[in-house]
Structure 1
């Protein structure tokens, strides 16, 4: 068997250890192959792993399942995978998410405990070499700060989901006020926002964003609620450029990058909905649908005079007069 085929077979075996096993449709999607090829792969799976269980599920689809212990000895992580996990921990720490970083560190310890001793030393050496080359020993810079007890209460409420009592201060308030909210999700970015509905304003009230750093106290309540059937956090997040979203600002955004900056700008995905158009002069015009003018302004300042806002007019007015000549691009 070719090495690449062996890797694919092991990958398939890992998929088959899932609680629901793996179907032909899953294999076709994962490996971008035809149904016939997927069938041949299941034959190879059963031949290589006799423990494979075949059954027809309640949805009348064939499923193949393998006990995880059958392939555990074959799943020693690579140094690159350990580096990715270590990098994720650094990013969580930098984002001001100590609880998640602690969970990731616990996962790292568990993974390392399962590595055979004869392979652990080499992996350690490789991992440290890669981390040193990437320069991730320390990464200075601003990061959001929040009360850990508040963050803990938010996460526990999101798991329920349960109602959450918060003490929150708006920008136009001198003192925080108490309210009970129905949390729907958490947006991460330069700032963190709790997406929630204020229950005091009725079941038809719009979802609002609460800055986590401005929540002084939070308590999960016993009462639960149902997430809005049509709510999708990913689609909701796409309404904003960063973590802030405003229906009033939402609309088409168009930026034009100069010919000198176009090649650099092509390497960025500014927004999931963006489209890009090349100009005859070598410039690059990027457009997308979003809101959050202030966060756009913060980002665009880094580009100096290498970018021009074509729309909307209000954003153009916020940016245009403050463009500078910088010695480098972001």
Structure 2
């Protein structure tokens, strides 16, 4: 633990060169006395660091002193290799501490290479947050355990509840890996030779089997995910034309995404939008726009929405 703390102390000093004892104690979560002892230990080992007394004093690393922070530990390299995961996802994978360690080394290296620590890094100006708004993931499966099991490249027996089922089913799958998408985790695997996407939220249990995973040749997690993603996001064959209030057009773009095929016209605050669905039943998604939308064609879609609206009205009518 002390070796890790000394490295952290050196990285902080290489980034700032002069830091107060109080701030170092807070950053390292130790007492000021411990910081001074650590500084003495570093100085005794030949590191050009010393404590400077006085009003503007602190712990100082001599200019020109450089710690070689280019050699990252294997776990730190792994943490950086999954760039894009947010703090919650990193925590679930058990990579929070090593990610922070790697970032400290990188910060120290950048400061040594580019000079002034006052120049903001790109990481200080760009923040990537991959969680969806209002997302509340309630996965029963530990992601870190699942990721560790996937390293063995074995078949898995899983307990999985499909969206239309109340109870989970038992499946034997050949897994490629896991994907984080919009704050949710998905297991990508072949089920009887067919690529499938399993929401980890509905994965209640998994078990490694003795047989190796029968993965398709020349297929990787990335290629399988690309194919599944395209299948999910490809617009359907049913064109539904609607009248939509222009004030809800931006919201529609966020909700419907690539399902919006065309937007035309503008009259009295309304526009026409063509939405593509795989089937007529999918138009129930449009009910969330309430009185801001009207289905124009096809007639089957218009009738289905009318039926759904009547059912809702009867269910919510006063007793």
- TM norm structure 1: 0.46
Larger Rg belongs to? 2
Structure whose residues are more often strand by fraction:
2
- TM norm structure 2: 0.47
